[in-house]
Amino acid sequence: MSSPSDAKHTLINNRCDKKMTKTVLPATIIFLMLLASSCSNKETGLKDAFEGDFLIGTSLDARQILGTDKEAQSFIVKNFNSITAENAMKWENIHPYPGKYDFALADSMVSFGQKNGMFIAGHTLVWHSQTPDWVFQDSVGAPLTRDALIERMKDHISTVVGHFKGKVKGWDVVNEAVDEDGSLRKTKWLEIIGEDYIQLAFEFAFTADPGAEFYYNDYNNEFTDKREGVIAVINKLQQKGVKIDGVGIQGHWHLDSPDLNVIDESISKYASLGLKVMITEMEVNVLPTPPEVYGADVSQQAKYLESLNPYPGGLPDSVSNLLAQRYADLFSILLKHKDAVTRVTFWGVNDGYSWKNDWPIKGRTNYPLLFDRNYKPKPAYYAVIKEAEKQR
C-alpha cells in the first residue's frame, strides 16, 4: 500500500540515484540542476507530511542513540525532526548517586539531534518515579528536611538544564504530579517540600536556561477530573508569574479510549490557557488491558495469560485496519488543532521498541506504532499521511 506523497518521494529518490555525468543539452542541464538541488535535500519521510503543522518526534533508547541498531539512525533522521530520551535523562540515569552525574548517553543523543537539526526535548526533571531513594534521604538514611530537598532539587535542575543550555530546547519540568482524581499525587516531593515544589522546579529550570521552554507533562490528563487538577496547577503557576510554555499530553492511548471528544476538548482547554500543547509519548495499544490497569504507571504490573497476548505471530488485518482508522481519527483531531499543537512525539521508533511489549504484562507482542519491527510502514502510517494530505 502506498500513498501519493510516497510515490512522489520515491520518484525523486529514484531520479537522484541516476548518475548525472552524461553530456546533456542546455535546457536539460537546468532541469538537472534543479533536480540536483532536490537530491541534496534529506530523504523525506513522516515528518515532512506534517511540515508547517507540527513537529514529529520519537523517543530514543540506548540502542538507537549509540547506533548498535544499524538501521535506526538513518531511519530516525528520515522520519522525525524531534527526539526525546526515553530513559537517558531521568534522574536515576543522569544523576545516579549524590554528586555523580553521568551525561554520556544523553550527550550522545543531544549531539545526534544537533547534527541533524532536530528539536531536542528534555525528559524529565522532577518525577516521583525513577528517582533514587537517596534523593529524599540524608547521609544516615533519615528523611531530608524541606530546605535540604529544595537544595537537592535545585542542584539537580541547575546542573542538568545548565549542562544542556541552548541545546535542549524544551523541558518536561514536572512529570505526572497529579492523580486520577485531580488531587496532587502523594509523592515524596509533595510530602517533604509541599505544594510549592512544582513552582520551585519551574523557577530553577528558568534560572538555569531562560531561553528554553518549560512544560508540565502527564498521562490521562485529557480525562475531566485529572485535567481539572492539571489546569489548577497551571493556573497557580501562571498567577504567580512563573514561566510555563506548554502542557504535554502523553498520549498512551488505546483503540477505543479515550473518546475523541475528550481529546478534542482537552486540547482546546489547555490552549485557552495560552499554552502550547504537545502529544509527548504517543502510541495506541492494541492488546487487551487488564481492568485494574489504567494510564501509564510503571509500578502497575499484571500477570501473563495467553489470552492477554492474542497476536504473538502477527497482527491480523482486521485489527491492523482498526489501528489505522484510530490513528487517522486521532491525527484528524491533532490537525484540527494545529495552531495549538506544536509537537507529536511517538514513544518508540517501531513496534519492537515499544515499552508496551512489557507493560503492564511482561513478554507480550504489541503493535502500537506506525512502523513494524522491520521499520516497514504499516497501514496506520499511510492512514496518518492521508490525513495530512487531506488538508493541503
- Residues near ligand G3I, by CB under 6 A: 86-87, 90, 130, 219, 250, 281, 296, 298, 355
Q: Which is nearer to ligand G3I, 87 or 116 (CB)?
A: 87
Q: What are phi and psi of 183, to 5 degrees?
A: -80, 165
Report DSSP letters for 150-177, one per residue: HHHHHHHHHHHHHHTTTTS-EEEEEES-
Q: Which is nearer to ligand G3I, 64 or 332 (CB)?
A: 64
For the chain, count helices (H), then strands (E). 14, 9
Are 149 and 136 contacting, i.e. CB atoms less than 8 angstroms apart?
A: yes
Q: Which is nearer to ligand G3I, 179 or 196 (CB)?
A: 179
Q: Is 176 a catalytic residue?
A: yes
Q: 86, 213, 222, 281: which one is catalytic? A: 281
**CA 213 – CA 246 distance, rounded (Å):** 8
Closest separation between CB of residue 86 and ligand G3I, Å? 5
Q: Using CB positions, name the residue nearest to ligand G3I.
A: 355
Q: Which is nearer to ligand G3I, 90 or 378 (CB)?
A: 90
Q: Which is nearer to ligand G3I, 129 or 159 (CB)?
A: 129
Are 375 and 71 contacting, i.e. CB atoms less than 8 angstroms apart?
A: yes
User: All 3 cell numbers of residue 99?
Assistant: 554528586
Strands 213-218 and 82-85, by their bridges, are unpaired
Check the CA dihedral 378-47-247-350 and report its sign.
positive
User: All 3 cell numbers of residue 311?
Assistant: 497476536
Active site residues: 176, 281
